[in-house]
Amino acid sequence: MIGVDAMGTDAGPGSLVKGAAMALKGGVTADIVFFGDEQVLRPLVAEEPVLSGAAIHHCDASVSMTDKPMHVLRRGRDTSMWKAIEAQKEGRVHAVVSGGNTGALMAVSRMQLGMIPGIDRPAVTALWPTPRGRVVVLDVGANVEATEHELVRFAIMGEAFFRALTGEKKPTVGLLNVGAEELKGHELIRTAARVLREADPDMTFKGFVEGNDISLGAVDVVVTDGFTGNIALKSAEGAARLVGGWIREALTGSLLSKIGALFMMADLKKLKQRIDPSTVNGGVFLGVNGVVVKSHGGADERGVSAAIGMAAGLVGKGFRKEVAETVALVFERAGKTLEAAE
C-alpha cells in the first residue's frame, strides 16, 4: 500500500495521478491511496482505468513550497502531507511518496515516524547514472553540514540502502573529497575515513573519491554532506539537460540531420532515457523509521512513476534493522576515536 501526497507540488496533482497510473502499468504491484482534495483528485483518477481501485483520502489543506517546517508542525495537521505520513505511522500505508516541500516533509516524517535507533539525522539519497548502472549519493540536501559522526552513519545507511535496492551483498563505499590521497581534505573527513577503516571491517570502504568518480561509477555509494551533495546533484542535472539540448539541436539543424535521426530513433530513445533526470527521480529519506520518498516538485509522470516504483521496491526490506545494528556495532568498536577527534 503506497500513500501518495498528491498536493503541493509545482507540477500539480495531475502529474502525481498519471505517474501512479504509469507505475502500475509498468509492473509495480501496489495499492495506491491518494491524499488531497477529493474534488480535484476524483476526476483525475477516473481518467485512469488502472487506478479504479485506488482510494482517495480527502484532506482540507496542503503544504505549499513556501511554508516553514515549524509552521507545518504546529498548524499543518489537516494537510495531505501530514495525513499521508500519519497513515504510515498507523500502518494503513507502507510507504509515502510526496513531491511537496522538502523541509516540511522531513520535519513531519521525523516527528511522526521517529528515527532509526542510533541515527541522529536523516539523509536524502539520489540515484546517479553511471556506465555500469547506478550509484547512490547521500546526503543531497537534508543537512547543510555534517560531522564525522554523521558521515560515518551516512555511509552505513547508504551501504544498507544500496544492498536493499539492488541485492548486492558487498557494495563499495567512498567519501567525496577534493582528492583521492589520504592527506587531502579537512580533518573531519579524514577522521570519518579512519573510523570506517578501523571500526567497520565488514564494509568495502574504498577511501576518498573525487567529483568525477561519481559519474564514472568508481564506487556504489558516495557519501558527503548535504551542501556539497546538493550542489553536485543540481550541477549534474543541469549538465544532462544541456547535453540533451545540444543533441536535439544537432539532430534537427538540417534536413540531412533529421533524416539521420530517423534511422537512429531507437538508439536515441535509449540515450534519452539514460540522461533524463526523471528516470532516477526519487530521494529516499534514510534514517527515518519508515519509507518516505521525496519526488522532485516539478517531476512529470515518468519521474513520479520512478519514485513510486522505488517506494514499492523498498517495502518489506529489512535495511532499517540492519542500519540500527551496524551503527551500534561500529560505534562500539570505534570506542573513543571520534571523541578524541572533537
pLDDT in tens, the chain (342 residues): 999 999 988 888 999 999 999 999 999 999 999 999 999 999 999 999 999 989 999 999 999 989 999 999 998 899 999 999 999 999 999 999 999 998 899 999 999 999 988 888 899 988 887 877 788 998 888 888 888 889 989 998 999 999 888 888 899 999 999 888 877 878 889 988 988 888 888 889 999 999 889 888 899 999 999 888 888 887 877 777 777 777 777 777 777 666 766 666 665 566 555 555 555 677 889 989 999 999 988 888 888 999 999 899 888 887 888 888 888 888 877 764 444 444
pTM, 2 dp: 0.83
User: Which residues, including other chains, have CB under 8 Å from residue 27's CB and lie 6 or more apart?
Assistant: none
Instruction: Spell out where the chain has E strands.
Output: 2-5, 32-36, 55-58, 95-98, 123-130, 133-138, 172-176, 204-209, 221-223, 283-286, 292-294
DSSP 215: H
Cβ atoms within 10 Å, residue 317 = 15
Rounded to 10 degrees, what is the CA torsion of 229, 231, 237, 239? -120
Residue 142, burial from CB neighbour count under 10 angstroms (0-12, 13-18, 19+): buried
Buried b (16+ CB within 10 A) or exposed e, 36-53: bbeebbeebbeebeebee
Query: Which domains can be identified in the chain, with CATH numbers?
Result: 1-113 (3.40.718.10), 122-280+317-342 (3.40.718.10)
Distance CA 133, CA 219 (A): 11
Distance CA 300, CA 303 (A): 5
C-alpha angle 58/64/299, rounded to 5°? 90
Q: Look-up: residue for cell 502525481? A: 16
Quick one: which H or E segment has residue 157? Answer: helix 148-166
Give which of 19, 8, 81, 5 is closest to 308, Cα–Cα. Answer: 19
User: Which residues, including other chains, have CB under 8 Å from residue 274's CB and lie 6 or more apart?
Assistant: 129
- What are residue 24's phi and psi, to 5 degrees? -65, -40
Peptide bond into 139 cis (omega under 30): yes
Distance CA 173, CA 218 (A): 9
Amino acid found at 231: I
- What are residue 115's phi and psi, to 5 degrees? -110, 155
